[in-house]
Structure 1
Amino acid sequence: MFANIAKAAALTALIAVGANTATPSNAEAGNIDFGIYFGTPGYGPGPYWGPAPRPHRGICKPRRAVNKAWRMGVKNPRIVRRNPKRVVVRGWRHGYKTKIVFANRRHCPVIAYR
């Protein structure tokens, strides 16, 4: 019973709003805009809501690469090579020499592990 009443009321409101906006007024003084905004203007995703966010660029800091290698089980890790694309860390694991290659990006993702 309540659902039928709610549906009828919603339909009546929708028809009333549609009829009100469809009939223009002769005494319209100017443009009247109506909008609903969420959030603070200037900090949103739209084209007029401020500058686009910059891509997250970063580098693999040497200390982070060495700590990550140590957490992976490499004893006495040290950086042997570093260039704009990768960071190479060498050390010992289970009695054998090992090498880990990290990408020179944020959070030092592992490229190769030998």
Structure 2
Amino acid sequence: MFKTFKTAALSALIGLGALAAVPAVAQADGIYLNFGHSGPRFGTYDGDRHQTREWRRERDWRRGCSPERALDKAERMGLRRARIVDMSRHTIKVAGRKYSDRVVVVFGRERGCPVVYR
């Protein structure tokens, strides 16, 4: 009886040691251990792909104001049914409704979509 407890404790110690060594070797973002119907599974999760997409989105934001960002900002300002009416090199004109009145907002094409005219 003591021999089986000793064997189980030794194998658990070896398994935990192996789990502790894997992140240092693989340099992964996360580790998962799954016990399911198809048997135990072990693996690593590397989240670099998602970080790259977020970085690209952040980099695009720093470039300037896009039409999609202007529409998002207009909707956050309270315009309903916002749509782009006119675009030029320097401005984006968005029209919509606010309190049942027609409202036109002009955004600059600079970083942060500054409001030029309301």
> Could you say which structure has the larger radius of gyration?
1
Relative to total residues, which structure has the larger strand share, 1 or 2?
2
Shorter-chain TM-score: which interval?
Answer: 0.3 to 0.5
What is the TM-score of this pair, normalised by structure 2?
A: 0.46
What is the TM-score of this pair, normalised by structure 1?
A: 0.48
